[in-house]
């Protein structure tokens, strides 16, 4: 079945540094990729939607200058957390869609970010 | 404002019995609903979906029911198995909005 690879699975960084998270679709072309954040005991919160070759669409309340999203190809999207702070510590998950509206999303395994 | 709600954070069911997970939504514009299963430290995996033009969809042990007038859907798992133990999220589109999840534990 369709697979989405997310890397790294966990990362610890110091406050003020930037961290890049990659999301790759391994056996299909992902026209749309989504980035989510999950706080403990809370739901997956959609951060942004990215379409290949165009700017990402950010959800209300998500700082686009802090969470940089690049979807340079049909198989790769990246999320860069810039100038990370401890409150950015969270679980980030990407997902990808290969085609039509409402097609089930394929999720990566997530990245646990800890900012010290 | 939580547009998709799963009011039961946890559910414990004996193996072989039916598990019923509930989900309520507030936005009448939602037209497609999905259920995902999630194990710790993994991404969610798709289980089953239902369009708003239907009231039931069945796939093996999993059945999803939709009551549009009540803005309520439920996932039935029968018979429940220990491997079903996970967190279950309902989600609604057009913009994929997730519920808060219900942790299901199936015990022998």
Residue A88 is classified by DSSP as G
Q: Which of B46, B89, B93 sits opposite A43 (nearest CB)?
A: B89
Interatomic CA distance for residues A9 and A11, integer angstroms: 7
**From first to last of its 108 residues, what are the pLDDT tens digits of chain B?**
678 999 999 999 999 999 999 999 999 889 899 999 988 877 888 899 999 999 999 999 999 999 999 999 999 999 999 999 999 999 998 777 889 899 999 999
Phi (first) and psi of residue A83, to 5 degrees? 45, 60
- Longest CA–CA span in chain B (Å) reads 41
- Residue-wise pLDDT for A68-94, tens only, equals 999 888 899 999 999 999 999 999 999
Contact by Cβ (8 Å): B79, B15: yes
Would you call B32 and A102 a contact, using CB atoms and an 8 Å cutoff? yes
Specify the pLDDT at position B88: 96
Tell me which chain A residue has its CA closest to the CA of residue B10: A41
Question: Which among A44, A97, A108 is the top mutation candidate for probing chain B, defined by the most B β-carbons within 10 Å of its own β-carbon?
Answer: A44
Specify the pLDDT at position B64: 98
User: Is some CB atom of chain A closer than 8 A to the CB atom of B53?
Assistant: no
CB contact residues (below 8 A), chain A span 39-58, against chain B: 41-46
User: Is some CB atom of chain A closer than 8 A to the CB atom of B5?
Assistant: no
Q: H helices then E strands: how many in chain B?
A: 0, 11
A60 contacts: CB under 8 Å, gap ≥ 6: none
Would you call A43 and B42 a contact, using CB atoms and an 8 Å cutoff? no
- Quickly count: other Cβ atoms within 10 Å of residue B34's Cβ: 22
- How far is CA A68 from each of CA A5, A71, A84, B83, rounded to the nearest angstrom? 19, 10, 12, 38
What are the chain A neighbours of B36 within 8 Å (beta carbons)?
107
Specify the pLDDT at position B95: 72
Closest residue by Cα to residue A109 from B90, B105, B42: B42
* Mode of pairing for the β-strands spanning A10-13 and A67-73: unpaired
Confidence of residue A20 (pLDDT cuts 50, 70, 90): very high
Q: Which residue has the higher pLDDT, A106 or A19?
A: A19
């Amino acid at each position: 079945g369709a697979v989405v690879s997310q890397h790294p699975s966990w990362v610890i960084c110091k406050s003020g540094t930037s961290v890049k998270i990659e999301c790759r679709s391994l056996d299909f072309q992902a026209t749309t990729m989504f980035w989510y954040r999950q706080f403990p005991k809370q739901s997956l919160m959609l951060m942004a939607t990215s379409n290949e070759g165009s700017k990402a669409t950010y959800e209300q309340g998500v700082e686009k200058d802090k969470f940089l999203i690049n979807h340079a190809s049909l198989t790769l999207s990246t999320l860069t957390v810039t100038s990370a702070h401890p409150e950015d510590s969270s679980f980030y998950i990407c997902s990808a869609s290969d085609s039509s509206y409402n097609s089930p999303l394929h999720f990566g395994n997530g990245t646990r970010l800890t900012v010290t | 404002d939580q547009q998709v709600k799963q009011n039961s954070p946890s559910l414990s069911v004996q193996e072989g019995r039916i598990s019923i997970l509930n989900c309520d939504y507030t936005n009448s514009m939602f037209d497609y609903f999905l259920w995902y299963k999630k194990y710790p430290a993994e991404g969610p995996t798709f289980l089953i979906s239902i369009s708003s033009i239907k009231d039931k969809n069945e796939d093996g042990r999993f059945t999803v029911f939709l009551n549009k007038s009540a803005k309520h859907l439920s996932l039935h798992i029968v018979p429940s198995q220990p491997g079903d133990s996970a967190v279950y999220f309902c989600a609604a589109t057009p913009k994929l909005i997730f519920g808060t999840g219900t942790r299901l534990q199936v015990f022998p």
